[in-house]
Amino acid sequence: MKIMNRKKYEAFPKAAIRFQNEFLDFQKGIRVGNLEDNQRITRILKLALEARYQEEFVTERFGRGIYWQWIGFVSRANRNSKPISSKISFGCSKFFLTIDQEEQLFKCGFSVERGMITPQPDFPQTQLQPDWDWHRLLDGLTKGSLLEKELKRLVTREDFSIEAGNWDDRFTVSHGKFPGAEDLKKILVAAPPDAWTVFQAYYPMREKDIRASTGADLVDAMMAIFRETTPAMNLCMQAQLK
């Protein structure tokens, strides 16, 4: 039997990282354009995640030009495991970061999308499929489940927040108050079929906290947040991170 050498993934050496806190702009978004690789948060985090989990990640984004509004990192192995949806990332759990300009918050954590049950005719790829991670999320949101325990830990012990429901009308869990998995599930199930629906657990940071941190400290914080959310995200994934 031929033994294949496992691909070796390496992150940027910490001393080489030149990300700056000003690249998180609360008026414009997350700066990714006109930067060197060791300054660009997409490249820094992608390499760091691949080094940690020893597998490839796909970078997704919302935005254009120099500043992006939302960035996601999808396990390629998890996406490839989808028999129907292996070419798109909508169906996959993912790490994410965003600047919510309305709430003036930097959010970093993990997200699971339902998309739409009845999508718009010109956007059929957003239709919920049977192989999406969304179904594992719903199955896991039961009383006493491992997923409930992990989400409760994030909210009550680690000061994370949770948002659930229609993208334009989300229910927010914060300040250490966890309602229970079954209540969250009811909110998700009740979302309109033609509305983009999401579940996300994230650590919120205000601009003053960002400005008080160095770029290197912020990279460390993002990676620590991803590590904290991995157990919960794994419970929603078809191919789990090791």
Mean pLDDT confidence for 194-199: 96
Tell me 239's DSSP state: S
Q: What's the predicted TM-score (pTM) here? A: 0.95
- Reported as half-sphere exposure (CB side, CA atoms, 13 A), residue 2 has a value of 2
Residues with Cβ within 8 Å of residue 169, at least 6 apart in sequence = none
CATH class of 24-234: alpha beta
Cα-Cα-Cα-Cα dihedral sign, residues 97, 101, 106, 107:
negative
The confidence score (pLDDT) of residue 7 equals 61
Q: What is the pLDDT of residues 24-39, one digit of tens each?
A: 999 999 999 999 999 9
64 band by pLDDT with thresholds 50, 70 and 90: confident
Mean pLDDT confidence for 222-241: 98
Q: Tell me if residue 58 falls in helix, strand or coil.
A: strand
Q: What percent of the chain has pLDDT over 70?
A: 97
More confident site: 123 or 97? 97
Whether the CB-CB separation of 23 and 41 falls below 8 Å is answered with yes
4 band by pLDDT with thresholds 50, 70 and 90: very low
> Across all residues in the chain, what is the average pLDDT?
95
Q: Is the pLDDT of residue 2 over 80?
A: no
